[in-house]
Amino acid sequence: MATRRAAAVLIGITCVLLALGGCIFTDLRPDGDPGVIDLGGPQNLLQNPNADAGMDSWTPFSADAFVEGGSGNPAFTIRNGSFMTQRVDITGKTSRILVIVGITAAQNATPLSLGRMHAYTYSNADPNMVIAHFTSPDLVSTSSTSNEWVILTAQFALPPNADAIELFLATGGSGAHDGSHTWFDYLGLYLADTTQLAQDIIDDYTTTHTW
């Protein structure tokens, strides 16, 4: 699996070139594990967002959705068109701007293997009926380099009756897959009161990490 020590360099270079210095990485720990992202305030609604507790709180679609990497450097892993999800209850929460963030890398940077995230929302009136589907090009990796970690971020306006959010970790396209691994890590699901506050969360994620 691609190490996050190399990933720090790759993402840092990518962000410097594409976002004029939009990412800052400092103080890598000796084991190469970047540690926990500190956004300085907003609550990450996801449980076990960094795979530190294995698959706890996540639901795999098949045996091809799992955690690999071992102690100190785990990552959520998808192969062969599988996916995994986590459903979060937001009943009673008044903030209506959803922020999704994470990083992803693909063992083989082909369209079928590139990582993507999307989300469904549900209402307590009918917990099984999807009331909105959130997807964005910004939540789909466009990397052409195998094992390169890239940052995915996006914000969406929640329906007023949304009481639950289900986040999906998946890969792009459909059809035959080659068995290669796609990784996700340092995931976040946040709520904000305004689009500006949502953008602040995204900016903090991409520019200020705790390593």
C-alpha R_g of the chain: 16
Q: pLDDT tens across 108-126, in order?
A: 988 889 999 999 999 999 9
Instruction: Report residue 173's pLDDT band, with 50, 70 and 90 as the boundaries.
Output: low
The mean pLDDT of the chain is 82
**Which of 68, 80, 81, 10 has its CA nearest to residue 185?**
68
Query: Residue 35: what pLDDT?
Result: 46
Count other C-beta atoms under 10 Å from residue 144's C-beta: 9
Instruction: Report residue 73's pLDDT band, with 50, 70 and 90 as the boundaries.
Output: confident
Lowest model confidence (mean pLDDT) among 26-35, 77-86, 167-176: 26-35
Instruction: Report residue 172's pLDDT band, with 50, 70 and 90 as the boundaries.
Output: confident
Answer yes or no: are the C-beta atoms of 70 and 171 closer than 8 Å: no
**Which of 150, 190, 139, 134 has its CA nearest to residue 19?**
150
Answer yes or no: are the C-beta atoms of 58 and 204 closer than 8 Å: no
Instruction: Report residue 177's pLDDT band, with 50, 70 and 90 as the boundaries.
Output: confident
How far is 90 from 88, CA to CA, in rounded Å?
A: 6
Cα 207 to Cα 11, 19, 38, 129, 197: the distances in Å are: 11, 10, 11, 37, 15
187-209 burial: b if 16+ Cβ within 10 Å, else e: bbbbbbeeeebbebbbebbbeeb
Angle at 58 between CA 54 and CA 62, to 5 degrees: 95
CA atoms in the 13 A half-sphere facing the CB of 11: 26
- In the beta sheet, which residues pair with residue 169? 84, 117
Query: pTM here?
Result: 0.81
Q: pLDDT tens across 194-206, in order?
A: 999 999 999 999 9
Answer yes or no: are the C-beta atoms of 53 and 81 closer than 8 Å: no
Domain boundaries, the chain: 37-205
**CATH architecture, range 37-205:** Sandwich (2.60)
